Amino acid sequence: MLDWLSRFNICCFLDNHLYNLPGHSQECLAAAGSISCTLNRDEYLKNAGKFIGLQNDWIFGHLGYDLKNETEELVSAHIDHVGFPDAFFFVPEYVLMLNGSSISIGSLRDDHESVYEAILGYVRIPAKKNSFTIRQRVGREEYISSIEKLKAHILRGDCYEINFCMEYYAEDALIDPVATFRDLSGISPNPFSAFYRLGEKYVLCASPERYLKKTGQQILSQPIKGTAPRDIINESHDHLLKEQLYASAKDRSENVMVVDLVRNDLSKVCTDGSVKVDELFGIYAFPQVHQMISTVSGTLRNGVGFEEIIRASFPMGSMTGAPKKKVMELIERYEKSRRGIFSGAIGYISPEKDFDFNVVIRSILYNASDQYLSFLAGSGITFYSDPEKEYGECQWKASAIKKVLGNE
């Protein structure tokens, strides 16, 4: 499926890697080609809302972090080297749904059988690759200095917690996006993985996090805050690491702050008293790390549409901090790269206007025409953060992607 659809100029491939989490009804959901799409211009979210409201079909696409400028009247001054638009949605020519041993093919033409045969027989020609060096946009000393300054902001009461990221990048990089996504999925198979292409721009995503899911009038968010490395060789030590994460006062503090932020966001669009915490401090094991995940849900008010839901809750609190607008101002001030689609969301909207979107983390961003490759890693900063440990967390979060790219 991936080989076949990756030849389309616009495509999206969503893979849950058999995690069988709530809300995943298909193993893979994919879209190929575009018959209609949003225009790249100002007021991205407003135009996306209008576009989505006019469709009665499947819609796929993304929300970029810099929609904050539209929703919160902020600015982004850093250069965006990858170049995804702040939002983009499209109605696909083909929709593919894989579930167990069955595949469903949606097509505007009466060519379902020929598409199935084409998928089975398609042979992809590998793209050219070269060797390149991954560099950091921010050095160790500058990173530690920034963390100390952010802690000073917290001490003054400017904010309580802030998600701070740094960019790893390579220029003159030639990769095979499909093969690289496969390698990334092999090392980090996660439940919200995505291969996403818009022309010569690619996202190769191995995300473990759900931003927002809508089913009927029910809305669900599952923020992640709290990470610990895994020891897949020593089972008893791995269990100890999991227990230490669950008991960590710092990680619990980060997590509950984000949960409160998500509760507040959802309350803007949900009926009074319906927003609740279904699970607090859940610890889940992934191939590289243990994660602390909480689940917040609510019942939407009648008449609330996609644009209003996104305005109330985006960007997701796990990728900003609290209070949201202030920390996004600090992120712009202290980070050295424009996030773009990173810490945004990729997903789909069904014909019934249900939707499911991930959080774009653990992802390789690639502009094939400019041969620019980028990925970001970060952590949640509180007053109790140890700058050296936060720097180390960024390094081992980045290690899986470096390994995929041959830059161990």
Using CA atoms, how far apart are residues 178 and 201, in angstroms rounded to an integer?
13
Residue 10 has a pLDDT of 98
**Predicted pLDDT at 110:** 87
For residue 359, the model assigns a pLDDT of 98
Spell 318-340 as b/e; 16+ CB within 10 A means b.
bbbbbebebbbbbbbebbebbbb
State how far the alpha carbon of 375 is from the alpha carbons of 24, 93, 341, in Å: 27, 30, 11
User: CA–CA separation, 367 vs 201, rounded Å?
Assistant: 5
For residue 101, the number of C-alpha atoms closer than 13 Å in the C-beta half-sphere is: 0
If you compute the radius of gyration of the chain from its CA atoms, what whole number of angstroms results? Answer: 20
pLDDT along the chain (408 residues), means of 10: 97 92 80 92 90 96 96 93 96 94 91 95 94 95 97 96 96 97 94 97 97 97 92 94 94 92 97 97 90 96 96 96 96 97 98 97 97 96 92 90 88
As a whole number of angstroms, the distance between CA 149 and CA 182 comes to 39
Domain ranges of the chain: 2-404
* Burial (Cβ within 10 Å: 0-12, 13-18, ≥19) of residue 357: buried
Residue 408: predicted pLDDT: 66
Cα angle 97, 98, 99 (rounded to 5 degrees) comes to 120
Decide if 345 contacts 355 (C-beta within 8 A).
no
> What pLDDT score was predicted for residue 310?
97
Task: Write down the pTM of the prediction.
Answer: 0.96
Active site (catalytic) residues? 209, 225
Distance CA 35, CA 40 (A): 16
List the one residue out of 15, 105, 22, 21 whose CA is nearest residue 58. 105
Q: Is 74 helix (H, G, I), strand (E, B) or coil?
A: coil
**Lookup: tokens for 157:** 């009461």
Q: Which residues pair with 61 in a beta bridge?
A: 89, 347
**Predicted pLDDT at 44:** 94
Q: What is the CATH number of domain 2-404?
A: 3.60.120.10
How many whole angstroms separate alpha carbon 51 and alpha carbon 33? 17
- Whether the upstream peptide bond of residue 22 has omega within 30° of 0, thus cis, is no
